[in-house]
Each structure stands twice: as structure tokens, then as C-alpha cells.
Chain A
Amino acid sequence: EVQLVESGGGLVQPGGSLRLSCAASGFTFSDHYMDWVRQAPGKGLEWVARIRMKANSSSTEYAASVNGRFTISRDDSKNSLYLQMNSLKIEDAATYFCARHAGCSPTCFSAMDYWGQGALVTVSS
């Protein structure tokens, strides 16, 4: 059974930093791109970042709203995904979901097929 479990959320002041983790199990983590998606309270879904597989140099993509402030990374030996969030703003407050990219067979044009339950990040002074 595929499981994604986020951790590391909490309260941080504007300008502060936080690191989210996502522990994956039930599938071969190294074979999948991974995403972070966030949802501000009462709002819709916003894609944040993507990291490709090691076979694709673990290359990354970011939403413009977080580019330069957030860093997505992965440790395939630990089946873990991370999101380092620096220079946090009030508008970054949200529940952050990690999600699995469905895979590159036959094409890497794939949706997100499994999601974690989310980690709540509150940005307030």
C-alpha cells in the first residue's frame, strides 16, 4: 500500500525557515518524480515544486511564488522527500501535501496519483 506521511509543519514567524519531510512507503520511491502542493485555508490547490528521479539528475521545477525561497530535495536511501522553506511570508501559510507522480511509463506526462495527508504551516508573528 502506497503511503506518504508529511511531518515538520508548525508555527513560524515571517522571514523564518521550516523544513518539511515526507516519508514514502509501499512503492519504489526512487522510480518516481515527487511533488509538493499546498492549500491555503479555505482556498484551492496550488502546485509548489517537483523533483525528478535521480536518473533525470533529480532536476527540479518551482512555482514562481516560491522560486528562490524554497528548495525541494530527496533522499532515495531514506525514501524521503523534503521541502526547505526560507524567507517565509504570511501568504505561505497553508497545508502542504506531498504527492507522487504516477510514473514515466509510457510517458512522463503523468498526473499525481497518491497524496499524503498534509502538514500545516502557519506563518504569523
Chain B
Amino acid sequence: DIQMTQSPSSLSASVGDRVTITCRASQGISIWLAWYQQKPGKAPKSLIYAASSLQTGAPSRFSGSGSGTDFTLTISSLQPEDSATYYCQHYNSYPLTFGGGTKVEIK
């Protein structure tokens, strides 16, 4: 199974800050990586697919990069509504697996 490791597990940043979350796969997954945002008590929402493609409807301040084993999700200017937990997920092979999540809090 491919293991997905996210870091950090949590962070606190101010409105307007640039925030970066990393995700590392235990083996190469090409660009087959997605990022999701989940707020408490809600379903996850798709943000990024194919490592760097912005999902329709996702704010443009979100961007993704990487290929192979190392990936990043960047929020260019953190907004209050971005307080949430973010998950990466690979879809290169079965079983599909998620990272452990990164909780983003607003200072």
C-alpha cells in the first residue's frame, strides 16, 4: 500500500499569510494526487486534482504542485473561511489512501 504522510499535522497562521502544506507518498504516484478541505461536521470538498489542477468552484488562492513523491498545497493569502482540515489522497493504485490531515487554524 502507498502511505501518504502530511506535514505539519496542524498550523496556526494569520489572515493574509501564505500557507504551505506538504504531502509525501511512500512511492511514486506521478501526478495522481488530490487535495480536499473538510470543515467540522461537513463533507470533504475537492480543491485540487492531478496535483495542480484547481477544481471548478475552488478559490484561486489555492494551488497545488509536485509530482512523483512530493507534493504541496499552498494557500496564497489565508482567509478566515480557510479554517479547516486538509487531506491529500493518491489515486495511483488500489487501495486509495489519504494523508493524516493538516488542521489549519486562524490566529
Contacts and interface: CB of A to CB of B under 8 A. Distances in A.
Interface of A: 35, 37, 44-47, 50, 61, 63-64, 97, 99, 102, 109-118
Contacts, number: 60
A102 B55 CA distance: 10
Decide if the interface of chain A is mainly helix, strand, loop or mixed. Answer: strand
A61 B44 CA distance: 21
A97 B98 contact: no
B91 A109 contact: yes
Interface residues on B, range: 20 to 34
Nearest to B85: A44
B87 A112 contact: no
Contact of A111 (B46, B94, B101): B46
Contacts of B97: 47
B92 interface: yes
Q: Chain B at the A interface: mostly helix, strand, loop or mixed?
A: loop
Contacts of B36: 45, 112
Contacts of B98: 44-47
Contacts of A64: 95
B49 interface: yes
A114 B34 CA distance: 13
Most chain A beta carbons < 10 A, residue from B34, B38, B43, B100: B43
Contacts of B99: 44
Given A47-B97, A97-B43, A97-B44, A111 B89 contact: yes
B45 interface: yes
Given A45-B44, A45-B98, A111 B87 contact: no
B91 A111 contact: yes
A35 B44 CA distance: 13
